[in-house]
Amino acid sequence: MQQLPITLRINGRAYSMDVDVRTSLLELLRGLGFTSVKEGCGVGECGACTVLVDGVAVDSCLYLAVWADKRAIRTVEGECADGRLSPVQEAYIEEGAVQCGFCTPGLVMTTTSFLEQRENTPLTREEIARGHAGNLCRCTGYQTIIRAVQRAADKQRRSGRR
């Protein structure tokens, strides 16, 4: 099958490789060891494979690896720098938003992108819910996830950092 050369950044590090044009970004990332990226449905229904492509949350199962050429990808592995959790990761733990954990990496990335696009704007429950409606979770009933998003927003506001 046809291979194409791509170069991309994953969590800040440069990668160059030839990829089979049929490969999804999900498969590419998992193959490189970024196994936080989970496949829950493979067809964009569940959001477990959410990663950020140039800051935008996408279902990596529906995104071809070749489209990632010259783009910057972020997965949850890269959100923890020098052993320090991101405010979103911290908030998920503190609010008890982690149970089985299979949806967690995707949700953390959705929240990360959601808050980066709404820095310092007050958030209603409804806005948060709409912003996370593409990520299914069967453990939490979304209650603690919404609280975690609120808490992460507060942390960001307080610290003034992303």
Partner 1 sequence: MSVGTAVIRKDARAKVTGKARYTDDQSMAGMLVARYVRSPVAHGLVREIDTSAALALPGVEAVFTYEHVPTTLFATAGHPYSLDPDHRDVADRLLLTGHVRYQGDEVAIVVARDELTAKRAAALVRVEYDELPVCTTPEAALAHGAPAIHEGGNILERTELTFGPPVAEAMEAADLQLDGHYNTPVVLHCHLENHTAFAYMDDNDHIVIVSSTQIPHICRRIVGQALDMEWSRIRVIKPHIGGGFGNKQDVVLEPMVAFLTLQLGGVPVRITLDREECLVATRTRHSQQVTVRAGLKRDGTITGIEMDITSNTGAYASHGHSIPMAAGSKFRHLYPRTAIRFTATTHYANIPAAGAMRAYGSPQLFFGLECLLDDAARSLGVDPVELRLHNVARAGEITTPDGGTRYAVAIARCLEQGRDAIGWQRKKKELQNQDGPVRRGLGVAAFSYGSGTYPACVEIAGCRLVLNQDGSVHMQIGATEIGQGSDTALAQMAARTLGIDYDRIHVVSQQDTDVTPFDTGAYASRQTYVAAPAVHEAAERLRQKILAACSGLTGTPARELELAEGRIIRAGEPAEEIMSLGELALSEYYHKERGGQLVAEVSAKTVTNAPSFGCTFVDLAVDIELCQVTIHKIINVHDAGRIIHPLSAAGQVHGGMAMAIGMALFEELLIDPAGGRICNGNLLDYKVPTCTDIPELDCAFVEEPDPTSPYGNKSLGEPPIISPAPAIRNGILDATGVAINELPMTPKLLFREFRKAGLLPG
Q: How far is CA 3 from the centre of its chain?
A: 27
Binding site for partner 1 (CB under 8 A): 22, 34-43, 45-46, 48, 75-77, 79-80, 85, 89, 92-93, 95-96, 98-105, 108, 125-126, 128-130, 132-146
As a whole number of angstroms, the distance between CA 19 and CA 12 comes to 20
Residue showing tokens 């950044």: 9
Q: Helix, strand or coil for residue 115? A: helix
52-54-58 Cα angle (round to 5): 35
CB 45 to partner 1: min, Å: 4
CB 149 to partner 1: min, Å: 10
Indicate the residue among 45 and 70 with the shorter CB distance to partner 1.
45
Say if CB 65 and CB 30 are below 8 A apart. no
CB 4 to partner 1: min, Å: 18
Indicate the residue among 71 and 147 with the shorter CB distance to partner 1.
147
Indicate the residue among 53 and 137 with the shorter CB distance to partner 1.
137
